[in-house]
Amino acid sequence: MTKIKPLAFYLPQYHPIPENDKWWGKGFTEWTNVTKAKPLFSGHIQPNLPADLGFYDLRVSEAREQQAKIAKEYGVYGFVYYHYWFGNGKQLLETVANEVLSTKSPNFPFCFCWANESWTGVWHGLKDKSLIKQTYPSDEDLQKHYDYLINFFRDDRYIKVENKPLFIIYDPIDLHEHGDKYLEKLNKLARNDGFDGIYLVASNRNEDEIGYKKMLYDGKISHAFNKSWGRHLAKTPNIFKRLIRKATMTVFKNFRKPQIVDGKKIFAEMNFVKADVETYPMVLPNWDNTPRSGINGNVIKNATPETLYLQLDKAKNFLKESELKENFLFIKSWNEWAEGNILEPNRQHGLKFLETLQQFLSKD
């Protein structure tokens, strides 16, 4: 079997930007949410704080280099940087990628996941607040988008599959419905620049059964985790509905808590299936987005290094049964701290998740 190549999703935030200053207060970063988190039920461990890397600022090159060094040491093949292009030339959180490109550091493989989604305040308890809308306004904007991307595609560190830059689309349905022939045009531009097109991969967001081939995708990141998790979220009782008839709002506030699901059940029931394009497994170490969302959040309990190993083993078996150009194994995520979705060293588990990955890969 060809060597497995783990790719970890990477949030290029952790530094102030004018927009976040305006929306959430001067100097806001995800660390703001992480450090103010509190336990919301018995046995809930919050805040979960960084260990070896500390409260880094990703504008500092040494921080990015340390991340890559640790990732490489424990077997991560590359980072998948979230890329934000909202239309009309508007970007957010592009500083990290621009610095990685201009400084040629870290010397570590990477690619982009275009997070083509509108930003709202939903995870901050402001579901009706629209911050910035995702649009696909014109061919002129598409050309500007490509002109930005091609600088990265040409970089030797950018991950390619048979002379095609790997480019992940977070929401393929939204792009398909609103971006007229967007991918067809991107492919044509890439071919004009000497590539064999772009290796387009749909994210794990949508079901595997959708016809991705007709939408011009080469690959799909498995929806298996989302599907299993969704079933268990649907089974979780809504405590508000149970208590509202029996309690005053004052009493209710003392009982209300996030939705909690059992990771042992979710990961045991995960079942990777093939889409109509090359399909890559995705595993998830942990999840607790209460630092960002409070009692409106979701918590996966019993998400441990052991349940990560279980997922990795399933992923390996799935890859063995598949005939893929590359044995990519996606990990969500490297550093989404306010979602409690992290591989990085943290005070609760130390290096255990990374050590689990390393142990698994040593048997590959």
Confidence label for 257 from pLDDT (cuts 50, 70 and 90) = confident
Average pLDDT over residues 117-130: 74
Strands 328-331 and 282-283: parallel
Work out the angle between the directed axes of helices 61-73 and 95-103 (0-180°, nearest 10): 80
Q: How many Å apart are CA 274 and CA 222, to the nearest integer?
A: 8
Q: For 341, list phi and psi in degrees, rounded to 5.
A: -125, 85
DSSP assignment of 244-266 equals TTTS-HHHHHHH---EEEEHHHH
The mean pLDDT of 53-60, rounded to a whole number, is: 98
pLDDT level of residue 121 (50, 70, 90 thresholds): confident
129: its two tokens = 């607040």
Task: Assess whether pLDDT exceeds 50 at residue 248.
Answer: no
The whole-number average pLDDT for the span 327-355 is 97
pLDDT at 126: 61
Query: In which domain, by residue range, is 322 found?
Result: 5-362
Amino acid (1-letter code) at residue 230 = G
Mean pLDDT of the chain, nearest integer: 93
**pLDDT per residue as tens digits for the range 227-247:** 999 999 887 654 444 333 344
Q: Flag whether pLDDT at 249 surpasses 90.
A: no
Residue 156 binned pLDDT confidence (cut-offs 50, 70, 90) = very high
Radius of gyration of the chain (CA): 20
Q: Is 239 helix (H, G, I), strand (E, B) or coil?
A: helix
Cis peptide before 333 (omega within 30 of 0): yes
155: which 2 tokens? 């970089």
- The predicted model gives 126-147 an average pLDDT of 91
pLDDT band at 1 (very low <50, low <70, confident <90, very high): low
In the structure encoding, which two tokens stand for residue 277, read together? 């394009």
0.85 cut: is pTM over it?
yes
Q: Phi/psi at 154 (nearest 5 deg)?
A: -80, -15
Q: Span 150-176, mean pLDDT?
A: 98
- Residue 239: per-residue pLDDT: 42
Which pLDDT value is given to residue 112? 99
> Phi/psi class of residue 49: alpha, beta or left (left: φ > 0; alpha: ψ in -120 to 50)?
beta
The pLDDT tens digits of the residues spanning 170-203 come to 999 999 999 999 999 999 999 999 999 999 999 9
At 123 the pLDDT is 55
DSSP 75: T
Region 55-82: what's the mean pLDDT?
A: 98
Q: What is the pLDDT of residue 141?
A: 98
CATH code, domain carrying 275? 3.20.20.80
Number of domains forming the structure of the chain: 1
